[in-house]
Amino acid sequence: MNKKVTARAHTNIALIKYWGKKNPELIIPTTSSLSLTLDQFYTDTAVVFNSNLSHDELTLNGQPITDHTLLKTSTFLDIVRQMAGINTFARIESTNHVPTAAGLASSASGFAALAAASSKAAGLNLDRQALSRLARRGSGSASRSIFGGFAEWIAGEDDLTSYAHPIQENVTMDIQMLTVVLDGSVKKIGSRQGMQHAIATSPFYDTWVAESEVDLVTMKQAIANNDFQTLGELAEHNALQMHSLNFTAKPAFTYFNGDTLNILNLVQNLRHQGIQAYATMDAGPNVKIISQSTATQVICEAIKKDFPNATVEVAKPGPGISYL
Q: 227 CB contacts (<8 Å, ≥6 apart)?
A: 221
Q: Which does 140 bind (CB under 5 to 8 A by kind): ligand DP6, ligand ADP, none?
A: ligand DP6
The Cα angle at residue 13 between residues 9 and 17, in degrees rounded to 5: 125
Decide whether 109 or 202 has the Cβ nearer to ligand ADP.
109
Using alpha carbons only, give the angle 108, 203, 186 rounded to the nearest 5 degrees: 30
Q: What residue 288 binds from ligand DP6, ligand ADP, none (CB within 5 to 8 A, per partner kind)?
A: none
Rounded Cα distance, 274 and 81, in Å: 54
Q: Does 37 bind ligand ADP (CB under 6 A)?
A: no
Smaller CB separation from ligand DP6, 30 or 176: 30
Shorter beta-carbon distance to ligand DP6: residue 162 or 291: 162
Contact (CB, 8 A) for 12 and 141:
yes
Query: Considering beta carbons, is residue 223 or 295 the nearer one to ligand DP6?
Result: 223
| Among candidate residues 257, 265, 252, the one with its CA nearest the CA of residue 302 | 265
Within a 13 Å sphere around the CA of 57, how many CA atoms are in the beta-carbon half?
12
Work out whether 72 is an interface residue with ligand ADP (CB under 6 A). yes
Strand extents, DSSP E, the chain: 5-16, 21-23, 28-29, 33-49, 57-60, 63-65, 90-97, 150-154, 163-168, 176-181, 278-281, 287-291, 311-315, 322-323
Q: Which does 32 bind (CB under 5 to 8 A by kind): ligand ADP, ligand DP6, none?
A: none
- Helices H / strands E in the chain, number of each: 8, 14
Residues in contact with ligand ADP, shown as a per-residue x/- string from 254 to 283 under the rule CB under 6 A:
-----------------------------x
Smallest distance, ligand DP6 to C-beta of residue 90, A:
20
Alpha-carbon distance of 97 to 130, in angstroms, equals 25
Among 23, 59, 69, 218, which residue interacts with ligand ADP (rule: CB under 6 A)? 69
Smallest separation, CB 265 to ligand DP6 (Å): 21
Span from 97-105, 214-222, 230-238, 253-261 in contact with ligand ADP (CB under 6 A): 97-105
Residue whose beta carbon is closest to ligand ADP: 110
Give me the half-sphere count of Cα atoms (radius 13 Å) on the Cβ side of residue 162: 27
Residue numbers of the site for ligand DP6 (CB under 6 A)? 14, 17-18, 27, 33, 105, 107, 139-141, 191-192, 282-283
Alpha-carbon distance of 312 to 289, in angstroms, equals: 10
- Residue 27: which of ligand ADP, ligand DP6, none does it interact with, CB under 5 to 8 A by kind? ligand DP6
Q: 222 and 37 in contact (C-beta within 8 Å)?
A: no
Q: 53 near 89, Cβ under 8 Å?
A: yes
- Region binding ligand ADP by CB under 6 A among candidate stretches 23-31, 101-109, 154-162, 307-315: 101-109
Closest CB 305 distance from ligand DP6, rounded Å: 29
Using CB under 6 A, list all residues that contact ligand ADP. Answer: 43, 45, 60, 69, 72-73, 94, 96, 100-107, 110, 114, 190-191, 283-284
